[in-house]
Amino acid sequence: MAAALPVFEGLRCATTSSSARLDGVSLGISQPRRLRVMANKRSVKTRQIILSEDVEFLGKTGDLVSVRAGYFRNFLFPKGKAKMATPEYLKELKLEAERKENEKRKLREDAEALARELQRLGPLSVKRKRGMARLIFGTVTTQDLADIIEYRTKKKIDKRNMTVPEIREIGTYTAEVKLHPEVTTQVKITVVGS
């Protein structure tokens, strides 16, 4: 009588022939063969997460990325670098992105309105003490231009966002004012002697 082998469903036998029976009698062996159990490869489990801070080689703050569950559970989550991408959190993140986009659009519109206002003002006049011929004492700086624009428009502009040519004599000059990363305007400066 042949010895019965336990049934292992979902496992493969390590024999080369797929038609070979698994009991020892049919194989011509007095003792049953030992089966080598080959497990199927585990599927990789990933999670959708949202980064709370910049992570090198992964992404920037607010990015939605997919990482392995263990990496999230053992490294990112305990250090506060990421959160699970729950539907509520995704909705909150979307609202925050829309708010930031509206804020950027408003800043750009304000900068464009200020550029139109500066163009409408015409040339800005600067008085300087006159020297010999057309020369003036001192020079006109970006701070002078920022003060004049603030006085005329009641809006403060940083002097680091202005480019003024070297002004050493009486005449008309053109300065460039950067009001926004996407909005720049040209301003005429008229230097008069006193």
Write the pLDDT tens digit of every residue in 119-133: 998 899 999 998 888
Contacts of 101 (CB under 8 A, 6+ apart): none
Separation of alpha carbons 194 and 186, rounded Å: 26
Residue 162 belongs to a domain = yes
Categorize the per-residue pLDDT at 25 as very low, low, confident or very high, splitting at 50, 70 and 90.
low
Q: Residue 70: which CATH number?
A: 3.40.5.10
Separation of alpha carbons 12 and 40, rounded Å: 9
pLDDT at residue 132, rounded to an integer? 85
Q: Which residue range(s) make up the domain with 78?
A: 46-85
pLDDT at residue 7, rounded to an integer? 60
Comparing 11 with 66, which gets the higher pLDDT?
Answer: 66
Comparing 131 with 73, which gets the higher pLDDT?
Answer: 73
Interval 30-57 mean pLDDT: 79
The one-character DSSP state at 82 is E
Cβ atoms 22, 36 nearer than 8 A? no
pLDDT at residue 60, rounded to an integer? 93
If asked whether residues 134 and 62 sit together in one domain, one would say no
Which residue in the block uniquely carries the two structure tokens 């163009």?
A: 119
Q: Residue 146: which CATH number?
A: 3.10.430.100
If asked whether residues 72 and 117 sit together in one domain, one would say no
At 37, list the tokens.
């159990």
Nearest-CA neighbor of 54 among 65, 38, 44, 43? Answer: 65
Interval 106-124 mean pLDDT: 93
Nearest-CA neighbor of 118 among 183, 166, 182? Answer: 183
Residue 2 has pLDDT above 80, yes or no: no
The number of distinct structural domains making up the chain is: 2
For residue range 182-192, list pLDDT tens digits in order. Answer: 999 999 999 99
Separation of alpha carbons 135 and 124, rounded Å: 19
pLDDT at residue 151, rounded to an integer? 93
pLDDT at residue 18, rounded to an integer? 47
Residue 170 belongs to a domain = yes
